[in-house]
Structure 1
Amino acid sequence: MMRLIGYVGARDLSVITEEDIRCLDVINIAFGQVRDACMVWDGQACRPALERIRKIKPGIKILLSAGGWGADGFSQAALTAQGRESMAASAAALVTEYGLDGIDIDWEYPGMALSGIGSHVKDKENFTLLLQAVREGLDAVGGGYMLTTAAGGDSYFTRQTNMKEAAVFLDYVQLMTYDLQGGFQKVTGHHAALRPGNCSLFDACVDKAVKAFLAAGVPAEKLVVGVPFYSRKWEGVKGGGPGLGQEAETVGGYGPDYGSLTADYINKNGFIRYWDEEASSPYLFDGSTFISYEDEESMALKVRYAEENGLGGIMYWEYRCDGTGTLTGFLRRELDRGLCPGGKQEPGRGPCPGVEQEPGRRPCPGVAQEPGWGLCPGVVQEPEVNRGGEAAHESD
């Protein structure tokens, strides 16, 4: 079953819309932390929001994600059996205290200290041992709790871990297939390309990441493709043309989120939208500033890719970045398209209750309606496709 998983900051749990709650299968709360070999999260203020979400969609899964970029403590906790047992016990205590459905481990990254976190030569084996301990700790308190991990979206992560062994203890491996170019490079490119293009450094892309994790022994149905709701931006781009693959004065730092992009950048204020056919990615350029981002066109292609390769679904980072309030619903609709005529039907999948049916979006005949599944209100139709690097201009 293809799932839609969204990272939602704890402060945003109270503002996530009813429509988006119905569209999501899993919410990963960002973030809990690791302190002194214990997983910690003060979720008291979130209790009313969690109750509201459960009331709207009783079947939704809510996980606490521990870690994130720059979050220390994993390597130290995983180093000893005592530390791993402490992590497992604290994880089990959190899910029972707050009525959660599981834990998401976001260790960025085992065996690497890029963000200044602690690391150890035994991180590779200890990563698996930590997951095993947490899995056993969750199983000990019953309830069928989930355990997932967020994994770096390239082969460096599979080299630093034993993913075949680790996957045994995981429900999903969520690939962070974004930030693939930009953070350390002064050459413009796509930070979340589906496929390698002529200007992709190291051919970093979704397809390469998926193949690396499959080769490492992770079952396809456990792999989830990540999509970003934010951009990366290079300034002082040299060389002219549409700006792709050009040297810049800056690295590709974090750029505008999707809400800001639609309001102020996409075919506005001198920025022109281009489409890279080879990479299946859009980008913006105004003659000096280059922005790599994702939109409905590229996200729809990622959904199709996940379906064609039997993957577990789509994950996004993160809810707050979509000021338009449309992308969660759009992804839900794209995931459900494959369930209708011409695709494989799953029981219980239909449009959201009370939603006027769009032409050509008919639910499969004889499908029993399950509240909260399917097409959602307020979904924007797919954009017109602009190919071959041609700019997409607004109509007057």
Structure 2
Amino acid sequence: MRLPDMIRSRRRSAGALLGLLLLTASCIVAAHDAPRQPRIVGYATGWNAAQERNVDQLDMLIFSFAKVSDDRVVLDDDAAQRLQTLVALKERHPKLRIAIAIGGWGAGGFSEAASTEAGRRAFADTAAELLAMHRADGLDVDWEYPGFDDAGIKASPDDRENFTRLIEAVRASLDRVGAREGRSGDNRYTLSIAVADGRFVRDIDIAAVEPHLDWFNLMTYDFVNSMTPTTGHHAGLHAATQAPADARSADRAVRQFLGFGVPARKLLIGAAFYGREFGDVQPRHQGRYQSFGRYVGEHPWPKLKAEYVDKQGYVRHWDETAQAPWLWNAETRHFITYDDPQSLAAKAAFVKAQQLGGIMYWEQVHDTEGELLDALAKGLR
């Protein structure tokens, strides 16, 4: 080969190599920047073997609940056994992740543990060791709520600052124990919090805790309940026309957290696999946002479908504005608010349109046939 030909050949080879390197780099960047498929995360107090056919639709099950006792995170024997039933699912479904939730409504000990450095260290270290002991994959802190004693738990004006310190301590302990267990990168222990919107985040510094969290589980349900003055959509995606100006809804919660600076991909909105019934309801607007005489209680989805939806005088209605169903019994003046496959499809479309992190729900044992989980999976995937 003559010298000029050799030079041209080397130039072509170098150019081809550079092109290959650029293509590879662009693919890596594209893969890194590509939006993650929305998560489906379910809280679970237990497990029904018949539900296993739906497991592969899930990204994570969050076992509920571990408790706080003398600043330490603990599981009693019954809870530990129920947790292990969930963890065992990973042997047959290796993509499934299991987290442990600490707390829940009426569970105290948080304000006390968070109030001192020693308490925060004990909480964080025992929580991280609990994950390692039970082969779990993440932690969900469900303090309901910092600064509020509505549930009969202790609260303090210092909860806002101490909650941030507690989350920082937990993240540090998870990383330390995770490193010991060989968990890093995409396989590190995850940390989330279950959090409400509106006034219930008054004593949480969202901007300060956000960098330490993998995502927020927004409890966008229970907007109306036994303690609210009226009925309404307890899990509405948007505010109904009849709702008061300050009514809570999923989209308003999302806007609130985006306003705090939380990335959209870290927000999971909540879905309710149960309904709430009210009695002696004033009849305007078929019971929507009306005063009531008594709170009747909760009904899981299978019971709603089998005994209430268009049965026994309960008529199903659809609120196009709120994107939510409700049942109204004109004879007994009973009102039921709930989520169903249609409202879950609307929430899934909202999540995709807003590029949110996904949907979580309460709770797994309320969906024995997997109908609601199927609706979420179809809508999100």
- d(CA) in 2 for partners of 1:92 and 1:48? 17
Verify the 8 A CA contact 1:186 1:249 in the aligned structure 2. no
Superposed CA deviations along residues 339-364 of structure 1, whole A, max 9, x for unmatched, are: xxxxxxxxxxxxxxxxxxxxxxxxxx
Query: Are residue 180 (structure 1) and residue 223 (structure 2) matched?
Result: yes
Look up the match of 2:85: 49
Q: How many pairs are equivalent? A: 332
- d(CA) in 2 for partners of 1:206 and 1:47? 30
Which entry has the higher C-alpha Rg, 1 or 2?
Answer: 2
- d(CA) in 2 for partners of 1:323 and 1:167? 34
Note the aligned Cα RMSD (angstroms).
1.6
- d(CA) in 2 for partners of 1:208 and 1:291? 22
Amino acid in structure 2 at the alignment position of 1:302: K
Verify the 8 A CA contact 1:111 1:124 in the aligned structure 2. yes
Look up the match of 2:198: 155
- Aligned identity (percent) is 37
User: Which runs of structure 2 are paired with 1:276-315 in the superposition (5 Å)?
Assistant: 276-287=319-330, 288-315=333-360
- d(CA) in 2 for partners of 1:99 and 1:7? 17
Amino acid in structure 2 at the alignment position of 1:243: G
Verify the 8 A CA contact 1:258 1:324 in the aligned structure 2. no
- Change in 2 beyond 3 A, CA 1:186/1:203: closer
- d(CA) in 2 for partners of 1:52 and 1:16? 15
Amino acid in structure 2 at the alignment position of 1:266: V
Higher helix share: 2
- Change in 2 beyond 3 A, CA 1:98/1:241: closer
SS at match of 1:213: helix
Look up the match of 2:29: none
Q: Structure 1 residue aligned with 2:102, among 42, 60, 66? A: 66
Superposed CA deviations along residues 180-208 of structure 1, whole A, max 9, x for unmatched, are: 12332342211111111122242210011
User: Which runs of structure 2 are paired with 1:111-260 in the superposition (5 Å)?
Assistant: 111-142=147-178, 143=183, 144-152=188-196, 154-201=197-244, 202-239=246-283, 242-251=286-295, 254-260=297-303
Query: Are residue 265 (structure 1) and residue 305 (structure 2) matched?
Result: no
Of the structure 1 ranges 317-326 and 59-68, higher mean CA displacement relative to structure 2 is found in 317-326
- Change in 2 beyond 3 A, CA 1:270/1:92: same
- Change in 2 beyond 3 A, CA 1:77/1:255: same
In structure 1, stretches of 5+ residues that fail to align are 337-396
SS at match of 2:121: helix
Look up the match of 2:56: 22
Cα deviation for residue 234 of structure 1 reads 1.1
Verify the 8 A CA contact 2:191 2:213 in the aligned structure 1. yes
Cα deviation for residue 165 of structure 1 reads 0.9
Q: Structure 2 residue aligned with 1:33, among 67, 70, 84? A: 67
- Change in 2 beyond 3 A, CA 1:39/1:147: same
Cα deviation for residue 332 of structure 1 reads 1.3
Superposed CA deviations along residues 62-91 of structure 1, whole A, max 9, x for unmatched, are: 000010000000110001111000011101
- Change in 2 beyond 3 A, CA 1:85/1:266: same
Verify the 8 A CA contact 2:48 2:368 in the aligned structure 1. no
Cα deviation for residue 50 of structure 1 reads 3.8
SS at match of 2:163: helix
Query: Are residue 319 (structure 1) and residue 364 (structure 2) matched?
Result: yes
SS at match of 1:246: coil
In structure 2, stretches of 5+ residues that fail to align are 1-35
Cα deviation for residue 44 of structure 1 reads 4.4
Verify the 8 A CA contact 1:182 1:232 in the aligned structure 2. yes
TM-score, L = length of structure 2? 0.84
- d(CA) in 1 for partners of 2:219 and 2:205? 17
SS at match of 2:44: strand
Superposed structure 1 runs of 4+ greater than 6 Å apart: none
- d(CA) in 2 for partners of 1:84 and 1:208? 32
Superposed CA deviations along residues 130-154 of structure 1, whole A, max 9, x for unmatched, are: 11100000100121101111001x2
Verify the 8 A CA contact 1:158 1:216 in the aligned structure 2. no
- Change in 2 beyond 3 A, CA 1:51/1:117: closer
Amino acid in structure 1 at the alignment position of 2:61: I
Look up the match of 1:344: none
- Change in 2 beyond 3 A, CA 1:33/1:13: same
- Change in 2 beyond 3 A, CA 1:181/1:91: same
- Change in 2 beyond 3 A, CA 1:17/1:158: same
